[in-house]
Structure 1
Amino acid sequence: MDTAERQTILVVDDEAQIRKFLRISLYAHGYAVIEAARGEDAIRKLAEESPDLVVLDLGLPDIDGQEVIRRMREWSSAPILVLSVRADEAGKVLALDGGANDYVTKPFGIAELVARARALLRGREAPAAAEAGYGRGGLEVDYAARRVSVDGGEVRLTRKEFDLLRLLTRDVGKVLTHEALLRAVWGDAFADQTHYLRVHIGHLRQKLGDDPNAPRFIHTEPGVGYRLSE
């Protein structure tokens, strides 16, 4: 399986051996894995790389995992699977009430962990799979398969580039403001980070072969946002 086609799981654990075991095991089951050993790094990687699922240990060296869940849930809806040695019922309830989607206690079996991860990812895929896609003017976007082509040639996009394009193609002709795009793709905490948006729109245009001075697809509305050609 091509790495670009794999769903991505962010593994957050301060134990290097656990991260290595999960990286090897999850990759063998068809997933791409990114890692973080600290809570702050996990929050940053969730924002920058938009993984499909977070596997989170609660005992982190800088921030308690319960706080990590709370901060992630301020702006992200990515499913969170807690993987922790903490087996007390109160801690489980606190994590689940705080926004975690599932809870597995260490020691754990990889088969159970993968099954629970698969169930969470299926739930996340369902809305996207119901959407068909976009096709007009040589641009084809398959929402469910996350595939893009221009004039019949496949275009490889990063996760955030694809998410931006999907938003634009779902509201053809409408101006989507900088703030709306940033909130939808990066979350509420990034609503004023317009440089993120400029960089990703620039990369997206390059890959689509779109000249910003004579746009075929993406038009800039100065000081406001972007829209897709009707």
Structure 2
Amino acid sequence: MKKPIASVLIIDDESQIRRLLKITLGAEGYHVLEANNAKNGIKEAQIHQPELIILDLGLPDQDGYHVLQTLQQQGHHQCIVLSARNDENEKVKLLDAGAIDYITKPFSMSEFMARIRVALRVQTQQSKGSATIETHGFTIKLSQKSVFFDQEKINLTNKEYELLELLAQHKSQVIPYQILTSTLWPNHQEDAEHYLRTYIRKLRKKLAEKTDNTLIETIAAIGYRLN
């Protein structure tokens, strides 16, 4: 029997949503766990230790914000919020509390699956890592936290390096804004989008000094990728 790609826990009181996500995720090779309220969701997370949790905010027995806090305290840091609430302050609050992404209902299933894949790739790269990443003539040495172009070291700030490393680990793949900001500035979500634009601009300028190519591409309304 083929080993599942990863285990995903869906905490949502809408049976139709759980069924849709279970069918879609299952077809892609994920092991899917379900819970219809906060109490069962926290219990399932404790027992099965899923790699990713999909959390609805409007649960019948407890607000999703408090569930997220409980999950964070238990060490479950890979949590994507799924909600019909589309308030910007609400999003900031949840991302600042530790959610790695926020998806608003109704949602595109293809985009939803893409965000699942990105979240799990980021988790895998952070836990495993590799000694060296090579892309577009640049060499990123993870153990040294250094970047070279044709053996010449590129002077980057710590945050510029972290941003480039994250993009390079998933080159040619779009990383949503929310993943980048929650990974790089987990405690400053209110200003994180401004920080991200600033560092993208600085990083592009430094990379452009070594190559004529536009390496970092903006995907409107979604995120960035190393082209």
Output the TM-score relative to the length of structure 1: 0.54
Give the % identical residues: 42
Distance 1:105 1:128 in 2: 28
- The correspondence of residues 1-230 of structure 1 with structure 2, limited to 5 A, is 2=2, 4-130=3-129
What amino acid maps onto 1:39 in structure 2?
A
The answer on whether the counterparts of 1:51 and 1:78 sit within 8 Å (CA) in structure 2 is no
What amino acid maps onto 1:126 in structure 2?
Q
Distance 1:121 1:130 in 2: 13
The answer on whether the counterparts of 2:81 and 2:102 sit within 8 Å (CA) in structure 1 is yes
CA RMSD of aligned residues (A): 1.7
The answer on whether the counterparts of 2:77 and 2:98 sit within 8 Å (CA) in structure 1 is no
Distance 2:40 2:130 in 1: 33
Q: CA deviation at 1:77?
A: 3.6
The answer on whether the counterparts of 2:7 and 2:51 sit within 8 Å (CA) in structure 1 is yes
The answer on whether the counterparts of 2:10 and 2:33 sit within 8 Å (CA) in structure 1 is yes
Q: CA deviation at 1:123?
A: 1.1
What amino acid maps onto 2:122 in structure 1?
G
Distance 1:109 1:6 in 2: 21
The answer on whether the counterparts of 1:52 and 1:78 sit within 8 Å (CA) in structure 2 is no
User: Residue deviations 1:114-161, cap 9 Å, x none?
Assistant: 1111111011111443489xxxxxxxxxxxxxxxxxxxxxxxxxxxxx
Distance 2:20 2:42 in 1: 22
User: Residue deviations 1:21-45, cap 9 Å, x none?
Assistant: 0000111122110000001111111
The answer on whether the counterparts of 1:81 and 1:103 sit within 8 Å (CA) in structure 2 is yes
Distance 1:56 1:29 in 2: 20
Tell me, which stretches of 5 or more residues in structure 2 are unaligned?
132-227
Aligned residues between the structures: 131
Runs of at least 4 residues off by over 2 Å: 127-132
